[in-house]
Amino acid sequence: MFAALFLGVAMTAIAADHIDTAAVKVEQRVIETRRDIHQHPELGNRETRTQKLIVDRLTSLGIEVRTPIAHTGVLGILHGAKSGKVVALRADMDALPVEEQVDVPFKSTVRATYNGQEVGVMHACGHDAHVAILLGVAEILASMKQELAGTVVFLFQPAEEGAPEGEEGGAALMVKEGALDNPKVDAVFGLHVTSRFAVGELAYRPESMMAAVDSFKIVVHGKQTHGAYPWLGVDPIVIASQIVLGLQTIPSRQVDASLAPSIVTVGMIRGGVRNNIIPDSVEMVGTIRSLDAHMRDEIHTRIRRTAENIATSGGATASVTITPGYPITFNDRALTETMAPTLRRVAGADKTLVVNPVLGAEDFSFYQQKVPGLFFWIGTRPKNVTAEDAASNHSPKFYVDESGLLLGIRAMANVAVDYLKK
């Protein structure tokens, strides 16, 4: 028994050393790939250039390629020389409708049409880094094919930021079209670069890590009248204002705030065309963020009740539409505990952070609904910049310190190899 344990530890160390050496060798190519993708960003379900780059690179490595999937996605399948489990590694591909304000030589100047409007396009959330990192990992693992006990599925996924209006896309469509089925995936891993953490830091959380996100639309129907005689009508603007305030009591007063944080945000109100006309109706739209599945359902029920009852009290009516979005990004506890030693070994115990959940969302959660998954963050904030001063993801000033990509390469390669060994 002790001999077998010693042999297992020794083999893990050998594999880790190989990965670290190989990661240093591919680092510059990863950086160059990231810059290329950054300079040529593409919006969700339109990532055709990025798709071709991925297909060409995987093919050159001798990795089986399956495409198309989910419009512009790519599956890469690497069969190890030995039989074993199947692990999936995911990278998202799409950029955002943001005009870049970062002064780098590979700055994006791309423009495109988004929902009928001409916009600048930028990798303002680091998906260019994710693709480049996973291609680097593919190169490393392909070189270890003879030592791999199992199969690695590389998931290059479009439209994480959402598909264009009227289209399906993202992780939900990848799952729907069988990305996890053939071969049948046993576990899935993903990462995200972020300016919340400094270069060298790796962060994760067991169980609920990122929020479920849903959208809502409330239309308040009143009765139009002259602004000088409000009593002759029903003012939907006043009632809508009361509903906005009422919605804020749901996360603060109506659900257990000690269980998990939640947010109900109204992001847009539209109604009326003139200063002296009380309009017939007002529309408001917003977002719901929650970290507990039961609480998520509770909040939906209470939004309907709050809007409808406040409207009734003022003589109006309210129609409420809630559209489900991404589920909770939920790190499987058993998988997380199993892989935590790998994360600490790769980043160092003092740089591996167990952090609070956030109310941002990730469609990686759709994979986690099908198979156990672990999602973690890689810091790409320059060490001389504070978290408060760093531009956040989705900002036109979002900046990736490329020296942080090496940790992403090592982390993804090591969790894949260690999972297959375990």
Active site residues: 326, 402
Q: Taking CA 312 as the corner, what is the angle to CA 310 and CA 318, rounded to the nearest 5 degrees? A: 80
Report pLDDT for 115. Answer: 86
Over residues 116-122, the mean pLDDT reads 96
Report pLDDT for 3. Answer: 53
Distance CA 286, CA 401 (A): 33
Torsion of CA 165, 168, 174, 177, to 10 degrees: -160
Instruction: Read off the pLDDT of residues 319-333 as tens digits, 9 standing for 90 and up.
Output: 999 999 999 999 999
Q: Confidence class of residue 7 from pLDDT cuts 50, 70 and 90?
A: very low
**Are the C-beta atoms of residues 310 and 239 closer than 8 Å to each other?**
yes
Q: Residue 109 to residues 97, 99, 416: CA-CA distances in angstroms?
A: 12, 8, 36
Structurally, what CATH architecture does the domain formed by 2-208+328-421 represent?
3-Layer(aba) Sandwich (3.40)
**Domains of the chain, residue spans:** 2-208+328-421, 212-324
Helix (H) or strand (E) segment spanning residue 270: strand 262-270
Half-sphere exposure in the Cβ direction for 415 (13 Å, CA): 28
Report pLDDT for 236. Answer: 98
Bridge partners of 216, per DSSP, are 286, 322
Over residues 382-407, the mean pLDDT reads 97
Report pLDDT for 15. Answer: 85
Over residues 49-63, the mean pLDDT reads 98
Distance CA 417, CA 420 (A): 5
DSSP string, 43-59: -TT--HHHHHHHHHHHH
**Could you tell me where the beta strands, DSSP code E, fall in 307-407?**
317-324, 329-331, 352-354, 373-381
* Inter-axis angle of helices 127-143 and 2-39, nearest 10: 140
Distance CA 227, CA 250 (A): 32
Neighbours of 40 (CB within 10 A): 19
**Residue 13 pLDDT greater than 80, yes or no:** no
Query: Can you give the pTM of this predicted structure?
Result: 0.94
**DSSP-derived 3-state class of residue 252:** helix
- For residue 106, report the phi and psi dihedrals to the nearest 5 degrees: -105, 30
Q: Identify which of 70, 62, 209 has the alpha carbon closest to the alpha carbon of residue 142.
A: 62
**Residue 4 pLDDT greater than 60, yes or no:** no
Neighbours of 286 (CB within 10 A): 19
CATH 3.30.70.360 at 212-324, yes or no: yes
Report pLDDT for 281. Answer: 98
